[in-house]
């Protein structure tokens, strides 16, 4: 599909037609001179003035003229953006991760064979008209352009029904407590009315920016923008975690730039991205986990020589986008190299151990294989990078498809009683199976559905639907209707009960993964059951996590009369949980079109490019 647009773009921009037209007229230099001599003095002055005016006009417009093909309305757009400095042509050439040796050319007719032929009918509820009616400006990110968002920002209508209004009210409640007790700090402690700092980057404000924008909260957006513009500085002498800061801060700054069109956010993103780059100066190119933003010294975590596999492979969407927005390839190149390196490592049926050494570039042998903590978003970013780059980097898709086959074969089991399908873990390099599933793993059905939406095998959808039921049960079987951090599944025959929870795992941190999947599943299938499940969970948050000054994580989902509040509201509650719920309840299921945006691991939407 995208290939078509690319071809038309090329045809429209070939200057040959103009050259040919001129030469056909057959004007020689001599006849031009004769014509000139026949003009009166006045006529010559007029010609001089016209030429001069043409020169001025050219100087004024030329540096920022991007002709572009707008696929949604079929018109050739000339974007005139004088604030935007066009990079030299060398930078405008298509930038993408070097394909691996085994990759074929872009069109890939042969390799498409194992992909479903449902790409044409993949969007039952979306057609071209919806794209135009939604009022959003279609992406003009054609091959080799520096991407600039719509100048006036993308328009959102604000809440349009009671459920959405309730989510907005929840957001404002959280925001009010944060503003009163923790403004400018990373997290609110809503019970004691104090704050918690982790990186000293005002995480809650930054992480919530695009949620605020999407909810249409103008006043809150103005105060958050003001804080970012004047008080967000990256020169604090403090170590930060590359992955966390990339997905939360860099991701949100880039999203805010794309949605609002405000260049200040991009300037901040460039400053931050530049300070994070030293992480990649390891022997292998696999980044160190931590960096000091002031001294720009990077190092491994204090507790280990290794980085987490998911952390080093969950920064690529953001660094690529930063390069696409600035025309400076160094961000994308550093991060894409890591993906390519991990692609080249030996895996067992696409599954990766959770630790990797930045100096040797090798996995730690015998470490756990899981789709939960430290493994999860490796798989997520394989698919999402493939989508972000217009489905042009085949190894990403192939590694994802292979990994999902590996998951189906080695990590899935059913409970004895109700045959719920779940995903467990492999310990000791694959020798022992542990029937334990992190709530984090509940991101997977949404990601699988996103893959099927983009033409991946239909059997992924069956896995997604079954996992949705299991994740829903993780909530529904608790008396608080909130899922614990970790659930164990019962696979022994002749026992009762499908799942159990250990005391140390019984907390709920207001995490988003299941409501994230609910949104994808609802958007892709249109099945309203997913909205109803989301509403049940939202009400459980209202009942058991809401406190006077915000929302708190709780220590025990098993006891409604003693939930053991933990006095902590993490930034992802505003960035992800409430955003996904708001999107899930939207009357317009394509409020944020999956064909235009890919959401990073912290729910920050970034544009999909053609290449
Ligand atoms: C998809 O369609 C192409 C051409 O129309 C065909 O060659 C290919 O075998 C089909 N693949 C599947 C999985 O049906
Ligand atoms: C919607 O999803 C629920 C939960 O998986 C399922 O029970 C129901 O049959 C689905 N409805 C339709 C119309 O597919």
Tens digits of residue pLDDT in 78-115: 333 333 333 333 333 333 333 333 333 333 444 444 44
In a domain, 20, yes or no: no
pLDDT reading at 487 higher than 90: yes
* Contact by Cβ (8 Å): 186, 178: no
3-state secondary structure 93-116: CCCCCCCCCCCCCCCCCCHHHHCC
Q: Is 402 in the pocket of ligand 2 (CB under 6 A)?
A: no
CA dist., res. 416 & res. 421, Å (int) = 10
In a domain, 463, yes or no: yes
Band of residue 373 on the pLDDT scale cut at 50, 70, 90: very high
In a domain, 98, yes or no: no
Q: Pocket around ligand 1: residues whose beta carbon is below 6 Å from it?
A: 113, 116-117
* Contact by Cβ (8 Å): 363, 309: yes
The overall average pLDDT reported for the chain is: 85
Q: Is 532 in the pocket of ligand 2 (CB under 6 A)?
A: no
In a domain, 288, yes or no: yes
Ligand 2 centroid from CA 248, angstroms: 34
Helix or strand run (H / E) with residue 29: helix 29-37
Residue 403 backbone phi and psi in degrees, to 5: -65, -40
Range of the domain at 393: 163-607
Band of residue 6 on the pLDDT scale cut at 50, 70, 90: very low
Q: Whose CA is nearest to atom 5 of ligand 1?
A: 117
In a domain, 129, yes or no: no
Q: Which residues are catalytic?
A: 244, 376, 485, 513
Quick one: tokens of 520? 């994808």
What's this model's pTM, rounded to 2 decimal places?
0.77
pLDDT at 48: 81
Q: Is 465 in the pocket of ligand 2 (CB under 6 A)?
A: yes
Band of residue 133 on the pLDDT scale cut at 50, 70, 90: very low
Torsion-angle region of 285 (φ positive above 0: left; ψ -120 to 50: alpha; else: beta): left
In a domain, 418, yes or no: yes
Q: How many CB atoms lie within 10 A of CB 488?
A: 18
Q: What is the pLDDT of residues 57-66, one digit of tens each?
A: 766 655 443 4
* Contact by Cβ (8 Å): 227, 202: yes
CA dist., res. 463 & res. 276, Å (int) = 37
End-to-end CA gap in the chain? 12
Band of residue 145 on the pLDDT scale cut at 50, 70, 90: confident
- Per cent of the chain over pLDDT 70 is 80
In a domain, 130, yes or no: no
In a domain, 274, yes or no: yes
pLDDT at 70: 39
- Per cent of the chain over pLDDT 90 is 72
Pocket residue to mutate for ligand 2, from 471, 523, 527, most atoms within 8 A of Cβ: 527
Ligand 2 centroid from CA 529, angstroms: 6
Ligand 2 centroid from CA 465, angstroms: 9
pLDDT reading at 473 higher than 50: yes
- Total domains, the chain: 1
Band of residue 32 on the pLDDT scale cut at 50, 70, 90: low
Quick one: tokens of 541? 């948050």
Residue 232 maps to which CATH number?
Answer: 1.50.10.10
pLDDT at 147: 87
Q: Is 40 annotated as a binding residue?
A: no
Print burial letters for 512-535: b (CB count within 10 Å at least 16), e (below 16): bbbbbbbbbbbbbbeeeebbebbb
Band of residue 24 on the pLDDT scale cut at 50, 70, 90: very low
CA dist., res. 78 & res. 255, Å (int) = 24
pLDDT at 73: 38
Q: What is the pLDDT of residues 297-335, one digit of tens each?
A: 999 988 888 999 999 999 999 999 999 999 999 999 999
Which residues are paired to 357 by β-bridges?
306
């Amino acid at each position: 599909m995208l290939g078509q647009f690319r071809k038309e773009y090329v045809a429209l921009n070939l200057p040959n037609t103009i050259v040919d037209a001129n030469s056909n007229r057959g004007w020689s230099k001599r006849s031009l001179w004769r014509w000139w001599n026949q003009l009166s003095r006045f006529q010559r002055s007029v010609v001089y003035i016209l030429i001069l005016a043409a020169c001025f006009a050219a100087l004024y417009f030329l540096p920022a003229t991007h002709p572009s093909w707008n696929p949604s309305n079929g018109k050739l757009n000339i974007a005139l953006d004088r604030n935007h400095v066009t990079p030299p042509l060398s930078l405008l050439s298509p930038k993408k991760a070097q394909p691996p040796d085994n990759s074929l050319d872009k069109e890939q007719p042969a390799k498409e064979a194992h992909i479903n032929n449902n790409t044409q009918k993949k969007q039952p509820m979306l057609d071209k008209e919806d794209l135009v009616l939604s009022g959003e400006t279609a992406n003009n990110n054609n091959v080799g352009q520096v991407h600039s968002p719509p100048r006036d920002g993308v328009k959102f209508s604000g809440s349009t029904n009671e459920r959405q209004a309730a989510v907005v009210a929840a957001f404002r409640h959280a925001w009010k407590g944060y503003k009163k007790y923790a403004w400018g700090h990373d997290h609110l402690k809503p019970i004691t009315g104090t704050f918690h700092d982790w990186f000293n980057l005002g995480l809650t404000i930054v992480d919530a920016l695009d949620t605020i924008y999407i909810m249409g909260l103008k006043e809150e957006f103005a105060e958050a923008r003001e804080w970012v513009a004047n008080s967000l500085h990256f020169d604090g002498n403090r170590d930060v975690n590359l992955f966390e800061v990339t997905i939360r801060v860099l991701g949100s700054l880039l999203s805010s730039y794309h949605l609002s069109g405000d260049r200040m956010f991009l300037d901040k993103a460039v400053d931050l991205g530049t300070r994070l780059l030293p992480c990649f100066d390891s022997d292998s190119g696999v980044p160190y986990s931590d960096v000091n933003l002031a001294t720009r010294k990077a190092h491994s975590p204090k507790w280990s020589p290794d980085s987490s596999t998911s952390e080093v492979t969950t920064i690529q969407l953001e660094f690529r986008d930063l390069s696409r927005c600035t025309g400076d390839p160094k961000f994308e190149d550093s991060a894409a190299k890591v993906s390519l390196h991990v692609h080249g490592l030996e895996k067992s049926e696409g599954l990766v151990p959770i630790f990797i050494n930045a100096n040797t570039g090798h996995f730690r042998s015998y470490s756990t294989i899981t789709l939960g903590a430290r493994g999860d978003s490796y798989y997520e970013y394989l698919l999402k990078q493939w989508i972000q780059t217009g489905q042009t980097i085949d190894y990403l898709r192939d590694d994802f498809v292979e990994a999902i086959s590996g998951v189906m074969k080695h990590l899935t089991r059913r409970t004895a009683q109700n045959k719920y399908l779940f995903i467990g873990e492999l310990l000791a390099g694959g020798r022992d199976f542990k029937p334990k599933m992190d709530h984090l793993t509940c991101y997977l059905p949404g990601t699988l559905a996103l893959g099927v939406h983009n033409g991946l095998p239909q059997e992924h959808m069956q896995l997604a639907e079954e996992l949705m039921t299991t994740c829903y049960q993780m909530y529904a079987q608790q008396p608080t209707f909130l899922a614990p951090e970790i659930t164990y599944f019962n696979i022994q025959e002749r026992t009762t009960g499908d799942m159990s929870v250990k005391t140390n795992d019984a907390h709920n941190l207001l995490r988003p993964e299941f409501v994230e999947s609910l949104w994808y599943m609802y958007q892709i299938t249109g099945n309203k059951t997913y909205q109803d499940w989301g509403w049940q969970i939202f009400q459980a948050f209202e009942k058991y996590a809401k406190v006077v000054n915000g929302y708190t994580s709780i220590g025990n989902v098993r006891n409604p009369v003693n939930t053991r509040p933990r006095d902590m509201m993490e930034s992802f509650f505003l960035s992800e949980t409430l955003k996904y719920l708001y999107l899930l309840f939207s009357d317009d299921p394509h409020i944020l079109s999956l064909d235009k945006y890919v959401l990073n691991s912290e729910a920050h939407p970034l544009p999909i490019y053609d290449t």
